[in-house]
């Protein structure tokens, strides 16, 4: 159960997961990207749809993730639709600018990133892990690292220096929503392997 096909053909993403899982699990990019309709209403539902589709297509255990930004003052926007927010805007800098515009007069700028991982081994064996990072939407785009909404998201940190995720690449690697979900999965599978070894 330590080899999974990533429900994506993105080799860089597969490498990122391999690093997060510290060599305990082998994560391979899919030979080709499948067109999976992400019709779920939650991150878990969409992660499941993708993992199931790839597992059934390639006949191997699959890993899928679904993530997004939840903005408290805009409950009907973003979330599972984060990647499809303002579809006419193809550049995320423009999407970030639009988000700032929508929050211009809002006192509540609280937000959080969510990542849900779905490990689909078989129809009878499916595992979910969730990670979140809380924070707020800043006043402007800041930073050159990261991607997506990172330049406008200021994570809650002890330093309280107002830095965005796009200014904190090392911190993000350790404390992001994807890192937290991966850490939870890593702990679970490590314990499962240890138990199996003890029984044998």
CATH of the domain at 136: 3.90.950.10
Which residues constitute the domain of residue 17? Answer: 3-199
- pLDDT computed for residue 61 by the predictor: 95
Active site residues: 66
CA distances (Å), 35 to each of 8, 38, 57, 165, in order? 10, 9, 11, 30
The answer to whether the beta carbons of residues 151 and 96 sit under 8 Å apart is yes
DSSP state of 67: E
Q: What is the mean pLDDT of each run of 10 residues along the chain (200 residues)?
A: 82 80 83 90 96 96 95 93 92 95 94 97 96 96 92 94 94 92 90 61
- pLDDT computed for residue 195 by the predictor: 63
The answer to whether the beta carbons of residues 119 and 126 sit under 8 Å apart is yes
How many domains, in total, are found in the chain? 1
């Amino acid at each position: 159960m330590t080899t999974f096909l990533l429900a994506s053909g993105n080799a860089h993403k597969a490498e990122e997961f391999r690093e997060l899982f510290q060599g305990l699990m082998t994560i391979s990019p899919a030979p080709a990207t499948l067109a999976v309709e992400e019709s779920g209403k939650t991150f878990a539902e969409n992660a499941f749809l993708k993992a199931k589709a790839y597992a059934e297509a390639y006949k191997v255990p699959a890993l899928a993730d679904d993530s997004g930004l939840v903005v408290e003052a805009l409950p009907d926007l973003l979330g599972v639709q984060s990647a499809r927010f303002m579809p006419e805007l193809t550049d995320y800098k423009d999407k970030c600018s639009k988000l700032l515009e929508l929050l211009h007069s809002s006192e509540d700028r609280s937000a959080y990133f969510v990542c849900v991982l779905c490990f689909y081994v078989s129809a009878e064996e499916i595992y979910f892990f969730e990670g979140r990072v809380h924070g707020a939407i800043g006043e402007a785009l800041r930073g050159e690292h990261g991607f997506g909404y990172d330049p406008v998201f200021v994570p809650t940190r002890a330093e309280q220096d107002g830095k965005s995720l796009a200014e904190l690449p090392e911190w993000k690697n350790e404390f992001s929503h994807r890192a937290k979900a991966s850490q939870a999965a890593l702990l679970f599978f490590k314990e499962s392997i240890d138990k199996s070894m003890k029984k044998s």
